[in-house]
Chain A
Amino acid sequence: MSDEILQPAPLRETHPAAFRRMGLVALVYVYRLIASLLLAAPIVAVGSSAISGQPRGDAVLWDAGSIMLFEVMRIGGRSAPALGLPSLVALALVMIFGLVMFAALVAGLGRRGPLPAGYLAERAFAKVGTLAILWGVGQVAEVVLGGLVFLLGAKLLQALDLDPRATDTARVALAAVALLAAGAGGVIRDLAMVITVNDDARFYTACQRALHAVGRAPLRVALAYAVRAVPTAAVIVFGAWYVGRRGDAGAAIPFLIHQAAIAIAVFLHASWLASAMRLVERHAPRATS
């Protein structure tokens, strides 16, 4: 597809913010919901089929003892191999369109005023190739960073000859540090992806500017990410905890709580992307490329 803009581009937004594009955020949430339904469909189908004859429906799965739950898993699990390849294909499609949705979100956050659908569509597909590589390289960077930290730390622990409890506690701390290191890779990747879409940049330029922004304001970048990532993790954990604590907590209220948690997570992610745009504009503007 040509990189030419087919329609007059809306004006650049000087203060990107997620709350200014709630419609777009809602669209991303709807996409995630549909994608998740697609991926969860096989599990739901197998599980629902297994309990289709039960007068209490799937409530039996949460009875004390978990006898029916394990029975459904045992017998339903027989179809798992057959679902492998279709699920992988579905996951690949979800990931590709996830990139498209990401690009559309960033494109919308970075402009003010009405957003023509044609503009959004053009921006969404224009850089999807570069975004895919940035995303893949970003994943590798996360694994490498986190893995290096963990491996080096594990070597050090071995040399210390601690007792098992101290060793395990140290390993948990080490895993947390490794996660932070991996997170740093993810942050740089997000910055580069935002630059790619917003400023129509190529791979190398986007990486350069992202590293420049982090180099000039590491604490600001880290804080901007953390104030959104931590609440995101908290709401998702709360969603899981709420149902876990209640055992068979029914379906309606848990569904509402779960979807509210996901919607908040989507909003916070959009908020982070908007913040990333502001950080890049301030600390690594286009003139630095």
Chain B
Amino acid sequence: MRRLLEITLGLGLAWAAPTAAAFVVPAAAPPPLTAPDLPIAPAAPASSSAVAAPPAPPAEPEAPRREAPEPVGEAYDADAAMPPHATPVVSYTLRASLDPAAHTLHGEGQIRWQNTSRTPQRELWVHLYLNAFKNQRTYFMRVPTGGFRGNGKLKDWGYIEVKRFAVRELDGKDLWATADRSSAGDPEDETDIRVPLPRAVDPGDALTVDLAWDEHLPSLVFRTGYEGSFYMVGQWFPKLARLEPDGRWAHFPFHHLSEFYADYGSYDVTIDTPESYIVGATGHMESEQKKGGRAERRFTQADVHDFSFTAWDRFEERSETTPDGVSLRCLYPKGFDRAAAVELDTVRYGLDYFGKAFGRYPYATLTVVHPPDEASEAGGMEYPTLITTGGGWYQPYTGVRSLDIVTIHELGHEWFYGLVGTNENAFPFLDEGINSYAEGDAMEARYPGSSAAHALGLSVSLPGAYRVASAERYRNAPVAQPASSFLSGGDYSSLIYSRTATILHTLGRVYGEAEVRRAIGRYARRYRFEHPGPEELIAVFREVIGPDAADALRAALFNQASVDYVVESISSENDVAPAGIFGDPAHPGTAPAPKEPAGYSGNAFVRRLGALRFPVDVDLIGEDGETHRVRWEAREGAARLPYAGKSKLAAVVIDPEHKVLLDENLLNNARRASPLSVGPRILDRALFGVEAALATMLP
């Protein structure tokens, strides 16, 4: 008995000690931060258990039925057909003065806006997204959609107060006094403000708004704000919502999962900071003036729909110019030189790859910002001609390509969202999903089979990783829905990023990578500087690849469609003369002669489950190792594929090259006549792993 107690006590101590260490030690040395917004691993789902249903997102006016898109045509497979510039709808000339001591910014300037719709407008809609961080009752803060990103606690609130909003063409009257005090239908939110106009603005007419505002930047918990002396300033000015051609305003309050949507125009922004601060911003720096310990830097950029900037007094900097004349600038923390080199190299590669695939990058500059670790929430984000990356200094040495991935992902956004200005709130998959596919495509071209990682003897591909990240999630919600309709950040990231990428990679593998790239390239060139929707994308797929691909794309995006190929059974037997009575039973004849040369005949019973349909290869493998590859169009839900060979049918594999990444379950794609009982490699590796662990644990 005593011995038993001693053994129990000793075991308990031995187990408790390492467990306690596992909790205590990481608290003392928090693990290095990882790059945010990496769409591969979806964030943990929201932990809302008994939480009241979130408020319904304010309803956007019902969209009139869109006509079927016009055919695009082969001309848009080349850059020559692309428009050289955007039609400017709204342009901003602003001045921003940053006070780092108080974390405030004073802004003033002008907005020049033109009514490019077909209907007179009696109101403007202004997005004041910084007010999302004003208190705990804003729409952004109270909707319990956790996960994805931005899950830190605010240490300092953020808000924006418009001081002046005077329209010159309307007698110079300051209209802010008559603007709504809160978002439509939500008195607790101030991010989506209607400004009534005293008279209608006819189609084609323009307005000039004289603007002034003050803002307090929040602590950095969701892309924008400050951490120490580091500033990432996005969605920082009163920004007009986009006016659709039919006269509807695409306005929406700031939701935790939603991003942005605005009209194209030009930006002329002067940023005033203490002289010690290095500033990176959208566009090209036209001038810099230093005076009295402050520096004023003027940045301009045309043909964009947003402007952001960063400022920090501890940036290191690297610059270079690509062969195409794009000026690259990388701002990064001290000690991250190797990371900066990787990012610039990746950007050079990406500009070339995406330029060839989706149309030349039209801007003269690109700024890459690698935030410091403590401000990692600012990373993994895109703005026109400015991207933020992130991740530890050591990542280039690990074999995991997260730094390359986040860089090329954010660069890809220059096309999908930047040049093709889709509505990120209504259809987030159009930028994040297509971009995730583009990122995987570019990385696979550079690192075939190991685009996500090459470490510890394993090669991991990004398309494969996306497949795993989105497996089974398709049952939770459709991909093609507004950001605010997702109830879980995990569903949002899995479906919008990973599922969309997996759909497109599947189409590429089945119908041809070059074909899918050509389809997306045609779509990107045709709708450069425009605002297409899902129908435009599907129409181009139909045009380039065909109706099967387009129908599969629609079903997968809108209808939560899935597919699972299964080998149900396999059988074969010797080609011998058949038994039985042949001819007149009273005078039976001889049996038909067996096939010559004699061999084996059989079949593989295969199924296609789910609404999606892709043609697949099926390998029928004989015992002698000979493989017969047949094509199954899979139009029907089940089939018996015939086999004839010199030996018995030993195994069948559907889709041996894993082209259909959407296949729900790859383990049932293969069947052997004699199943394996033990995998020798699995046995060896598992055994060694346990032995090595016991060597450290056992006395």
Contacts and interface: CB of A to CB of B under 8 A. Distances in A.
A binds B: yes
Interface of A: 1, 32-33, 35-37, 39-40, 43-44, 47-48, 50-55, 57-59, 61-62, 64-72, 74-75, 92, 94-96, 98-99, 102, 128-137, 139-140, 142-144, 146-147, 150-151, 154-155, 163-166, 168, 171, 190, 193, 232, 236, 239-240, 243-252, 254-255, 258-259, 261-262, 265-266, 269
Contacts of B621: 55
B653 A66 contact: no
A36 B13 contact: no
B20 interface: yes
B685 interface: yes
Contact of B692 (A142, A144, A246, A262): A262
Interface in B1-34: 2-14, 16-18, 20-21, 24-25, 28-29, 32
Query: Which of B458, B463, B676, B699 is the most central at the interface, judged by chain A CB atoms within 10 Å of its CB?
Result: B699
A139 B687 contact: no
Given A72-B667, A168-B392, A251-B681, A64 B448 contact: yes
B29 A44 contact: no
Contact of A99 (B334, B684, B690, B699): B699
Interface of A is mostly: helix
B13 A163 contact: no
A65 B10 contact: no
B653 to A, nearest CB: 6
Given A47-B686, A136-B14, A140-B17, A154 B667 contact: no
B694 A71 contact: no
Nearest to A246: B457
Contacts of B10: 99, 129, 131-137
Nearest to A144: B17
A164 B393 contact: yes
Contact of A139 (B7, B13, B689): B13
Contact of A44 (B5, B21, B686): B686
B13 A136 contact: yes
Contacts of B20: 143
Given A43-B682, A99-B699, A258 B688 contact: yes
Contact of B456 (A65, A67, A165, A244): A244
A175 to B, nearest CB: 8
B117 interface: no
B697 interface: yes
Nearest to B471: A74
B258 to A, nearest CB: 30
A52 B460 CA distance: 22
Given A55-B650, A94-B698, A136-B13, 15 more contacts: A53-B671, A57-B676, A59-B681, A67-B464, A70-B464, A95-B11, A129-B7, A132-B7, A164-B393, A168-B394, A193-B699, A236-B692, A247-B459, A254-B685, A259-B688
Contacts of A240: 688, 692
Contacts of B650: 55
A251 B5 CA distance: 43
Interface in B651-699: 651, 653, 658, 661, 665-668, 670-672, 675-692, 694-695, 697-699
A187 to B, nearest CB: 12
B458 A69 contact: yes
Shortest 8 CB-CB distances between A and B: which pairs?
A132-B10, A136-B13, A64-B449, A129-B6, A58-B679, A165-B335, A244-B457, A251-B680
Interface in B325-382: 333-336, 372-373
A255 B681 CA distance: 8
Contact of A68 (B11, B372, B666, B691): B666
A236 B4 CA distance: 34
A33 B335 CA distance: 46
B82 interface: no
8 contacts: A43-B682, A53-B676, A65-B463, A136-B14, A150-B28, A243-B685, A249-B457, A251-B681
B465 A135 contact: no
A112 to B, nearest CB: 23
A70 B6 CA distance: 43
A137 B13 CA distance: 6
Contacts of B435: none
Contacts of A168: 32, 392-394
Contacts of A154: 28-29
B468 interface: yes
Contacts of A61: 679, 681-682
Contacts of A166: 335
Contacts of B448: 64
A155 B448 CA distance: 44
Contacts of B12: 136
A247 B672 contact: no
Query: Which of A1, A134, A139 is the most central at the interface, judged by chain B CB atoms within 10 Å of its CB?
Result: A139
A48 B32 CA distance: 36
A55 B653 contact: yes
A75 B468 CA distance: 10
A71 B666 contact: yes
Contact of A37 (B8, B567, B687): B687
B224 interface: no
B127 interface: no
B450 interface: yes
B389 interface: no
A260 to B, nearest CB: 11
Nearest to B339: A165
A65 B459 contact: yes
B401 interface: no
Nearest to A244: B457
A36 B6 contact: no
Contacts of B671: 53
Contacts of A249: 457
A174 B2 CA distance: 41
A48 B672 contact: no
A107 to B, nearest CB: 14
A65 B686 contact: no
A53 B14 contact: no
B461 interface: yes
A71 B680 contact: no
A252 B680 CA distance: 8
B467 interface: yes
A246 B17 CA distance: 36
A225 B402 CA distance: 40
Contacts of A261: 688
A132 B9 contact: yes
Contact of B468 (A64, A74, A133, A244): A74
Contacts of A132: 6-11
Contacts of B698: 32, 94-95, 98, 102
Contacts of A137: 10, 13
Nearest to A252: B680
Query: Which of B12, B25, B392, B653 is the most central at the interface, judged by chain A CB atoms within 10 Å of its CB?
Result: B25
A180 to B, nearest CB: 15
Nearest to A268: B695
Contacts of B467: 67, 70
Given A52-B672, A136-B11, A136-B13, A64 B335 contact: no
B392 A66 contact: no
Given A57-B676, A147-B25, A40 B687 contact: yes
Contacts of A250: 681
A97 to B, nearest CB: 9
A145 B688 CA distance: 29
Contacts of B463: 65
A44 B681 contact: no
Contacts of A96: 7, 11
A164 B337 CA distance: 12
Given A58-B679, A129-B6, A262-B692, A65 B461 contact: yes
A127 B675 CA distance: 48
Contacts of B688: 239-240, 243, 254, 258-259, 261-262
A193 B268 CA distance: 76
B699 A135 contact: yes
A243 B661 CA distance: 28
